[in-house]
């Protein structure tokens, strides 16, 4: 149901650089799962509202009180490439 | 030492508060067992008991808790079972972990799980699979497999896990312990590394129903840091029921048919447990949940769709793994994600991305959310006639490692009896109801939203009558058989 091109398209959308073997396996596995899932499209769901939240909640507001954020150095400590008080990322022009 | 391990968490807390045993001694006894664990249930174990901080006088008495890896714990590794978060030590702690700590249950260790909670066997972990303490050639269930195995093996007094489509109940069933999936919103999700936000819910994995009630009581409540969390109506009292007089149980025939694939041994045990419930005074009748058989399909669209969005944050920029992308940003993202995610996570990201992609959104995600509405309506209608729905937790007992690893669809079918409740946001509990061929079977009760007190009470009455002996894996299957 899902061909190679579709898998590559979805992988691009999902930012996954799949290997050649993975592409083939993914096409097969996803097709099988989707084949099973397809059955719900046969249900008569005319006029049924899609679920937006399972428990009735009218609104969820909290007082708008400013509180301190975590310090910048604490957050940056987890980053693979902290740079100039920010997150370093590859830049095409910089090489 | 062994007498300490024999106590349930509630008993241990009681004894500590009465000054009969010491919290430090209890912590140390469990810490040693957790550190010596041979089931691969732990990903991290505390190095020492916490400094005495008045825990002994708090409600949970200093009885330590094992915590599923995906709960953020400040300064302590939290990777959600994934390579992509290698080395990550969060700068903050999840609300439920902080609440339990505040009530006197300090962190014993972090437990292994399926990567990002995606799986029903705990084989999808960057740390490797967890072994079932009843039979080490078999899976403990998933995704909270480490938590379940640790409690069953007596290397933790109790544990917390998360349930998105059965991830507390199914491993509890396969390991012969109690697992409670609460009403959606009962417990804050703040600090849980998200899988599917409209379904994820934290809950207890414990040796008995009384422990589950005690722990749950200290997990609930509205949290300003999670706008989907709710003020829990009423209190959770210790369960005390000894019978099921006046309780009406509905058995959903739509789920017990051939499609569910319930093994003969599980079915036999289920029937026997129903007979026991009847002896305790319950009335048992078939009930209809006509859309429930479609829950699995809806679930495997909704959960991957939400996951594909939630997992977009893992891109090699702010935390965890980064793989070089030859100076190109998108290449860096794509290679990091390719290398950092395991096969099941990639499969679900792909499935979710496809279901949300242009041209397919209405046909897949939109349809699934409509089916979800119908499933919730089915339950509401059923609860007009019945107090609880009764159904096996899992169609099968613990299966062999590797048995379903190459067949995603077969693996997903493990969740057939657990996902309807998840989609409806209602609470459900799994209690051990006996053995089939020497392996534990789980009996599941589900009730309306916020019915946990009644649910725990009914489970307590059944538990007393079943008299399940979960002791064996604590001695010969546990980490450190002394």
Q: Choose among A13, A34, A79: nearest Cβ to B353.
A: A13
Looking at chain B, the whole-number percentage of residues with pLDDT higher than 70 is: 98
Q: How does pLDDT run across B48-88, given as a tens digit for each residue?
A: 998 877 888 999 999 999 999 999 999 999 999 999 999 99
B452 token code pair: 């946990």
Q: State whether B374 and A48 contact (CB < 8 Å).
A: yes
pLDDT level of residue B468 (50, 70, 90 thresholds): very high
Place of tokens 């829990």: B232
Q: Give A6's contacts in chain B (Cβ within 8 Å).
A: 354
**Confidence (pLDDT) at A93:** 63
Q: Among B204, B256, B154, which Cα is nearest to B482's?
A: B154
- Rounded Cα gap, residues A27 and A12, in angstroms: 14
**Confidence (pLDDT) at B481:** 39
Q: How does pLDDT run across B165-189, given as a tens digit for each residue?
A: 999 999 999 999 999 999 999 999 9
Q: Among B365, B346, B369, which Cα is nearest to B355's?
A: B365
Number of Cβ within 10 Å of residue B224's Cβ equals 14
Asked whether the bond before B143 is cis by omega within 30 degrees of 0, the reply is yes
Q: Give B424's contacts in chain A (Cβ within 8 Å).
A: 54
**Confidence (pLDDT) at B106:** 97
- Rounded Cα gap, residues B44 and B34, in angstroms: 9
Minimal Cα distance from B86: which residue of A?
A78
Angle at B29 between CA B26 and CA B33, to 5 degrees: 140
**Confidence (pLDDT) at A61:** 85
Structural domain span for residue B216: 2-251+382-477
Minimal Cα distance from A54: which residue of B?
B425
B192 token code pair: 């849980």
In a domain, B36, yes or no: yes
Q: Is B128 helix (H, G, I), strand (E, B) or coil?
A: coil
pLDDT level of residue B41 (50, 70, 90 thresholds): very high
In a domain, B298, yes or no: no
Chain A residues 58-87 with a CB less than 8 Å from chain B? 60, 62, 70, 74-75, 77-81, 87
Q: How does pLDDT run across B234-283, given as a tens digit for each residue?
A: 999 999 999 999 999 999 999 998 888 999 999 999 999 999 999 999 99
Residue to mutate among B305, B310, B350, with most A CBs inside 10 A, is B350
Chain B residues 32-71 with a CB less than 8 Å from chain A? none
**Confidence (pLDDT) at A94:** 58
**In CATH, what number is assigned to the domain containing residue A35?**
1.10.20
Angle at A88 between CA A85 and CA A89, to 5 degrees: 155
**Confidence (pLDDT) at B479:** 43
**Confidence (pLDDT) at B482:** 37
Contact assessment for residue B44 and residue B108, using Cβ atoms and an 8 Å cutoff = no
Q: H or E element: which one contains B162?
A: strand B158-163
Contact assessment for residue B261 and residue B396, using Cβ atoms and an 8 Å cutoff = yes
Q: What is the mean pLDDT of residues B348-373?
A: 94
**Confidence (pLDDT) at B480:** 42
Q: H or E element: which one contains A38?
A: none
Measure Cα distances from A13 to A3, B263, B335, B341, B356 in Å. Answer: 16, 40, 14, 16, 11
Q: State whether A80 and B224 contact (CB < 8 Å).
A: no
Q: In terms of DSSP H, where are the helices of B155-208? A: 169-175
- Rounded Cα gap, residues A80 and A90, in angstroms: 12
Q: How does pLDDT run across A51-75, given as a tens digit for each residue?
A: 988 888 778 888 899 999 999 999 9
Does the active-site annotation cover B121? no
| Number of folded domains that form chain B | 1
In a domain, A12, yes or no: yes
**Confidence (pLDDT) at B133:** 97
pLDDT at position B476 over 80: no
Q: Among B165, B160, B176, which Cα is nearest to B120's?
A: B165
E-assigned strands of B288-338?
none
In a domain, A48, yes or no: no
Q: Give A55's contacts in chain B (Cβ within 8 Å).
A: 183-185, 230, 425, 449
Q: Give B85's contacts in chain A (Cβ within 8 Å).
A: none
Q: What is the mean pLDDT of residues B123-149?
A: 98
**Confidence (pLDDT) at A31:** 94
* Overall size of chain A counted in residues: 95
Chain A residues 23-62 with a CB less than 8 Å from chain B? 26, 29-30, 32-34, 36-41, 43, 45, 48-55, 57, 60, 62
Structural domain span for residue A16: 4-41
Q: Is B329 helix (H, G, I), strand (E, B) or coil?
A: helix
Q: How does pLDDT run across B316-354, given as a tens digit for each residue?
A: 999 999 999 988 999 999 999 999 999 999 999 999 999
Angle at B275 between CA B213 and CA B266, to 5 degrees: 75
**In CATH, what number is assigned to the domain containing residue B163?**
3.90.1300.10
* Overall size of chain B counted in residues: 482
Q: What is the mean pLDDT of residues B109-138?
A: 98
**Confidence (pLDDT) at A77:** 95
Query: A7 Cβ partners below 8 Å, 6+ apart?
Result: A18, A23, A26, A27, A30, B350
Radius of gyration of chain B (CA): 21
In a domain, B370, yes or no: no
**Confidence (pLDDT) at B260:** 83
Q: Which of B58, B68, B99, B181 is catalytic?
A: B68
Q: Is B91 exposed, middle or buried (0-12, 13-18, 19+ CB in 10 A)?
A: middle
pLDDT at position A30 over 50: yes
Long-range contacts formed by B256-262: CB under 8 A, 24+ apart: B256/B391, B257/B293, B259/B293, B259/B416, B260/B293, B260/B395, B260/B416, B260/B417, B261/B395, B261/B396, B261/B413, B261/B416, B262/B392, B262/B395, B262/B396, B262/B417
pLDDT at position A95 over 70: no
| Number of folded domains that form chain A | 1
Number of Cβ within 10 Å of residue B252's Cβ equals 25
Q: Among B10, B181, B180, which Cα is nearest to B105's?
A: B10
Does the active-site annotation cover B57? no
Lowest mean pLDDT among A8-22, A30-44, B204-218, B337-351: A30-44
Does the active-site annotation cover B241? no
């Amino acid at each position: 149901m899902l061909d190679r091109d579709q898998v590559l398209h979805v992988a691009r959308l999902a930012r996954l650089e799949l290997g050649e073997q993975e592409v083939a396996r993914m096409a097969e596995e996803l097709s099988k799962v989707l084949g099973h899932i397809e059955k719900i499209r046969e249900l008569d769901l005319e006029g049924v509202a899609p679920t937006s939240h399972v428990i009735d909640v009218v609104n969820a507001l909290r007082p708008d009180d400013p509180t301190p954020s975590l310090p910048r150095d604490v957050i940056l400590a987890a980053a693979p490439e902290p740079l100039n008080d920010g997150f370093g990322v590859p830049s095409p022009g910089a090489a | 030492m062994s007498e300490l391990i024999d106590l349930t968490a509630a008993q241990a807390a009681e004894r500590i508060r009465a000054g009969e045993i010491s919290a430090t001694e209890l912590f140390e006894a469990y810490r040693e067992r957790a550190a010596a664990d041979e089931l691969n249930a732990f990903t991290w174990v505390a190095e020492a008991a916490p400094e005495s901080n008045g825990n002994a006088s708090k409600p949970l008495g200093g009885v330590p808790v094992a915590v599923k890896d995906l709960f953020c714990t400040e300064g302590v590794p939290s990777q959600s079972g994934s390579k992509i978060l290698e080395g990550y030590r969060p700068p903050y702690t999840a609300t439920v972990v902080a609440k339990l700590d505040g009530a006197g249950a300090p962190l014993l260790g972090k437990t292994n799980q399926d990567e990002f909670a995606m799986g029903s066997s705990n084989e999808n972990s960057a740390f490797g699979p967890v072994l079932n303490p009843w039979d080490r050639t078999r899976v403990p269930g998933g995704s909270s497999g480490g938590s379940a195995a640790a409690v069953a093996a007596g290397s933790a007094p109790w544990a917390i896990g998360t349930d998105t489509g059965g991830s507390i109940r199914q491993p509890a069933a396969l390991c012969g312990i109690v697992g409670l999936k609460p009403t959606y919103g009962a417990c804050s999700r703040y600090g849980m590394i998200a899988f599917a936000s409209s379904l994820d819910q934290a809950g207890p994995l414990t040796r008995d129903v009384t422990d589950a009630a005690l722990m749950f009581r200290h997990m609930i409540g509205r949290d300003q840091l999670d706008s989907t969390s709710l003020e829990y109506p009423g209190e959770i009292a210790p369960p005390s029921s000894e019978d099921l007089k006046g309780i009406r149980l509905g058995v959903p025939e739509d789920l017990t048919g051939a499609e569910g694939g319930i093994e003969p041994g599980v079915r036999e045990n289920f029937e026997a447990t129903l007979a026991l419930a009847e002896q305790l005074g319950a009335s048992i009748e078939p009930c209809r949940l006509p859309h429930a058989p479609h829950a699995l399909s809806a679930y495997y669209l909704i959960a991957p769709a939400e996951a594909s969005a939630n997992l977009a944050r893992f891109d090699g920029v702010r935390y965890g793994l980064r793989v070089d992308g030859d100076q190109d940003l998108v290449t860096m993202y794509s290679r990091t994600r390719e290398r950092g995610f395991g096969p099941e996570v990639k499969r679900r990201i792909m499935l979710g991305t496809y279901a949300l992609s242009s041209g397919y959104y209405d046909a897949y995600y939109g349809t699934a959310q409509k089916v979800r509405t119908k499933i919730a309506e089915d339950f509401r209608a059923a609860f007009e006639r019945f107090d609880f729905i009764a159904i096996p937790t899992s169609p099968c007992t613990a299966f062999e490692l590797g048995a379903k690893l190459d067949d995603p669809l077969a693996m997903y079918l493990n969740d057939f009896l657990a996902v309807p409740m998840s989609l409806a946001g209602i609470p459900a509990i799994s209690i051990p109801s006996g053995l089939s061929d020497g392996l534990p079977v789980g009996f599941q009760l589900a009730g309306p939203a916020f019915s946990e007190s009644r649910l725990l009470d009914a489970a307590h009455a059944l538990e007393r009558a079943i008299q399940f002996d979960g002791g064996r894996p604590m001695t010969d299957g546990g980490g450190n058989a002394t």
